[in-house]
Amino acid sequence: MQSSLLFFQAYQWLASKLLLWYKEHGISNLTGVQGAVNIQGEDQKKLDVVSNEVFSNCLKSSGRTGIIASEEEDVPVAVEESYSGNYIVVFDPLDGSSNIDAAVSTGSIFGIYSPNDECLAEIEDDSTLDKVEQRCVINVCQPGSNLLAAGYCMYSSSVIFVLTIGKGVFSFTLDPMYGEFVLTQESIQIPKSGKIYSFNEGNYQLWDDKLKKYIDDLKDPGPSGKPYSARYIGSLVGDFHRTLLYGGIYGYPRDKKSKNGKLRLLYECAPMSFIAEQAGGKGSDGHQRVLDIKPEEIHQRVPLYIGSVEEVEKLEKFLA
């Protein structure tokens, strides 16, 4: 329970911190590109940098984290010993940041692990930085099946915090008057099937034939079926949240440009799949359960298909 409480604190701090930035620096200083690229080779937005700093500082000073790993950073960071705790936290500080300038929904995603049993040996005083980094990487590269907790925060018409600690999925809404999250939905369940699909069909010509046939079937199921509705925001958090509530499927496949897909296993796919499974849904790379994939490196990318069980299993049959 302590692991989840620190994220209530983090998100409340983030909300107040961003409001302070708006007041002190104005909108023009938070939109646009920072002028740097992250480890993924992507242009960093100004709010990417602010969000990463806020989350990193909050987690480092919480007294509960031993290692933190951000999508925006090259390597995981070991927390200074005087503040160090037992949890490993992986996070995407601002998902959907390409939408910032258009004021479209964005979000933050996180997952919490315990240290890997193979890596509990104390770091010696004479350990080199390389050895510390190697230990951090080994600790962080765990399959999603080891997750203790996961969640996301969506910044939209309201601020929604969705959390699981392995006992169901709960949703909280930020009360702006008091700066506190209020429980608004308990034990959320994804419908077993749904008639909404969320894929970026602009990449259709880059997909393999099996996936094309699946999408074509959704749009034209024949005289006995009803076509699915297409909904695509371009923000994983926003698209997944709709899928969580209404059912259906979200997909970000591999294609001719992105051979392994584009979403990160540690920071996006595993936490979201953990939430989906806790809500009775499913997360797959098209052939296997996402939570069973052991990361080979911290910024590994995989395809993601997530949502209602029946919809994900239907896709897997097309890709088999």
Task: Indicate the residue among 128, 161, 185 that finishes a domain.
Answer: 185
- Which tens digits make up the pLDDT trace of 213-271? 999 999 998 887 899 999 999 999 999 999 999 999 999 999 999 999 999 999 999 99
Taking alpha carbons only, the member of 100, 195, 85 closest to residue 155 is 100
Q: Note down the domain range covering 272.
A: 196-319
- Same structural domain for residues 70 and 39? yes
The DSSP H or E segment spanning 92 is strand 87-95
- Same structural domain for residues 172 and 242? no
Task: Indicate the residue among 137, 156, 185 that finishes a domain.
Answer: 185
What CATH number does the domain containing 245 carry? 3.40.190.80
State residue 127's pLDDT score. Answer: 47
pLDDT band at 11 (very low <50, low <70, confident <90, very high): low
- Same structural domain for residues 174 and 224? no
What CATH number does the domain containing 45 carry? 3.30.540.10
Task: Indicate the residue among 185, 215, 245 that finishes a domain.
Answer: 185
- Same structural domain for residues 41 and 171? yes
- Which tens digits make up the pLDDT trace of 37-65? 555 555 566 778 888 888 888 888 877 88
